[in-house]
Every structure is written in C-alpha cells, then in structure tokens.
C-alpha cells in the first residue's frame, strides 16, 4: 500500500522517561568518580530532528533544557512549548549563519556556537534590535578540522578576549565537538583548561558516546541526543 503518513508515530514516552533517568544515574556515577558533584553537571537534551511530542514527553519527565541545531526547526517547535512550560530553556548548538542571527537572538536562551568575529558582530547588532541578548558560548574547533564549525585553537584566546569585552558576563563559556574517531580526552582537557584560563564557568562538551569522559575532563554542560530520544 502507498498510504501517505499523516503524522510521525507517537514518541515512546516511557522510553524517553526511562532514558532520562538512566542518564542522570550515569551522570551521578561519572561525577562522583571524578570527585565532582552530580548537580554541577547540566544535561542539555538535544532534540534536533525529533517531533514536538518527543520534546513534550521529556518536559513532562522534568527535563527543561533542550538543544537544537537549526534555527528554523527550533522556531517551529519551541515557541509553542514555552507557553506550556515556562521554565523551558532553548540552546542553539549548531553552526549559525549571520543572516539567522536575529532569529537566533530572539528565540534562544543560549547560543553555544559563536565561532567567528562576523557572527559576533551580527549577534551584537541583533541584540540591539531585539533588546535581548542570550548567554553565549564560544565554539572552538579543537581538532582544527577543515569544514568544521568553531574558532581555530590558535585564534581562540584573542576571540575569547574580544567577546568578553564586548558581551561581558553574557559570554558564559566554551563549547566543542572533538574530531570523530579520536580519543576526545586531550581535546576535552584543552577546552576545560582554556575556559579556566579565561575565568569562564561553563564548559559544554560530551555527547551520547562520550559524556562520561567529558565529565571526567571537566564538562559542566553535556549535550545528549541519541541516548535520550533514540537514533536519528
């Protein structure tokens, strides 16, 4: 049969709830093993490509912080959910085009992917127009991979300093996605050290496959998608 799908299949609400509980347990174990407090680690649930019903299931299970990597998708899902769940916090974690900066500034509580001077200019201009400025993280291309988002490591110090003087306390920390297929440890450690050097409190690193390692290396925010919502 060739019947068109009217809507995606309903989310596995019980599965999402159980996955969240399991991840919180794993966070606690990893934090304690590293001599850290579990409550010092914040879970960002990455809901990209997942339907609004899946996000709602996570919200009903008590998760309030979500990450999306496309502005348009975030715009389709989150303004509605905010009316139902006023505590909801939206993080934009994907590469951001300057022409999307104004939408991003209007929509997001945190932009984790500030990675170049022209984007900083666009965010500053958008903040002036919108009368609001999200918290900002600088994304560092810790593996200096061509084609990958993030400021190159050699430019990180000066870019961090510029953003600090421009955005003040709204510049909250650093973020990275280390190269696939490599030991992430040296990259995670580099990022944590660089954040400390600049007195930045937030270190956003670690995904489904490596969040425990990231916690061991000093992550304060972890960004987990697949382990909560299933494969994409």
Q: Which residues are registered as beta bridge partners of 176?
A: 140
For residue 97, the tally of other CB atoms under 10 A from its CB is 11
x/- contact string, 75-104, with ligand PLP (CB under 6 A)?
------------------xx----------
Residues 41-60 that bind ligand PLP (CB under 6 A): 46, 48
Q: How far is the CB of 139 from ligand PLP (least distance, A)?
A: 8
Instruction: Compute the Cα dihedral for 134, 27, 213, 40 and give only its sign.
Output: positive
Contact 185, 217 (CB under 8 A): yes
Restricted to residues 182-211, the positions that interact with ligand PLP (CB under 6 A) are: 207-209
Min separation Cβ 4 and ligand PLP, Å: 28
Min dist CB 152 to ligand PLP, Å, is 17
Which of 116, 118, 65, 117 minimizes the C-alpha distance to 92?
A: 65
The H or E element containing residue 137 is strand 135-141
What is the closest distance, in whole angstroms, from the C-beta atom of residue 29 to ligand PLP in the complex? 18
| One character per residue 143-182, x = contact with ligand PLP (rule: CB under 6 A) | ----------------------------------x-----
Q: Could you give the string, one character per residue 7-46, with x where binding to ligand PLP holds by CB under 6 A and - elsewhere?
A: ---------------------------------------x
DSSP letters along 39-81, please?
Answer: GG-EEEEE-TT--HHHHHHHHHTT--EEEES-HHHHHHHHHHH
Residue 190 Cα distances to 6, 193, 227, angstroms: 47, 5, 25
Minimum gap (Å) between residue 207 Cβ and ligand PLP: 4
Q: Which is nearer to ligand PLP, 54 or 207 (CB)?
A: 207
Query: Residues touching ligand PLP: how many (CB under 6 A)?
Result: 14
The residue among 123 and 219 lying less far from ligand PLP, judged by its C-beta, is 219
Q: Is the dihedral of CA 213, 110, 54, 48 positive or negative?
A: negative
Cα separation, 142 vs 231, in Å, equals 26
Told to check if 224 binds ligand PLP by CB under 6 A, we report yes
> Residue written as tokens 């040296």?
186
With CB atoms as reference, the residue minimizing the distance to ligand PLP is 225
- Interface with ligand PLP (CB under 6 A): 46, 48, 69, 93-94, 177, 207-209, 223-227
């Amino acid at each position: 049969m060739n019947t068109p799908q009217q809507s995606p299949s309903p989310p596995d609400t019980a599965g999402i709830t159980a996955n969240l509980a399991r991840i919180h347990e794993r966070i606690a174990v990893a934090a304690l093993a590293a001599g850290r407090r579990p409550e010092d680690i914040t879970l960002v649930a990455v809901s990209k490509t997942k339907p609004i019903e899946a996000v709602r299931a996570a919200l009903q299970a008590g998760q309030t912080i979500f990450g999306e990597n496309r502005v348009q998708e975030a715009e389709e899902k989150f303004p509605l959910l905010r009316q139902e769940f006023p505590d909801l916090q939206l993080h934009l974690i994907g590469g951001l085009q300057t022409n999307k900066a104004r939408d991003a500034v209007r929509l997001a509580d945190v932009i984790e992917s500030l990675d170049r001077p022209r984007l900083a200019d666009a965010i500053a201009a958008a903040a002036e127009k919108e009368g609001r400025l999200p918290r900002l993280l600088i994304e560092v291309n810790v593996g200096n991979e061509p084609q990958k988002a993030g400021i190159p490591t050699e430019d990180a110090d000066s870019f961090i300093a510029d953003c600090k003087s421009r955005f003040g306390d709204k510049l909250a920390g650093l973020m990275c996605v280390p190269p696939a297929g490599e030991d992430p440890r040296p990259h995670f450690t580099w990022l944590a050290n660089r954040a400390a050097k600049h007195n930045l409190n937030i270190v956003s690193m670690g995904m489904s496959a490596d969040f425990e390692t990231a916690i061991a290396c000093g992550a304060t925010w972890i960004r987990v998608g697949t382990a909560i919502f299933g494969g994409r």
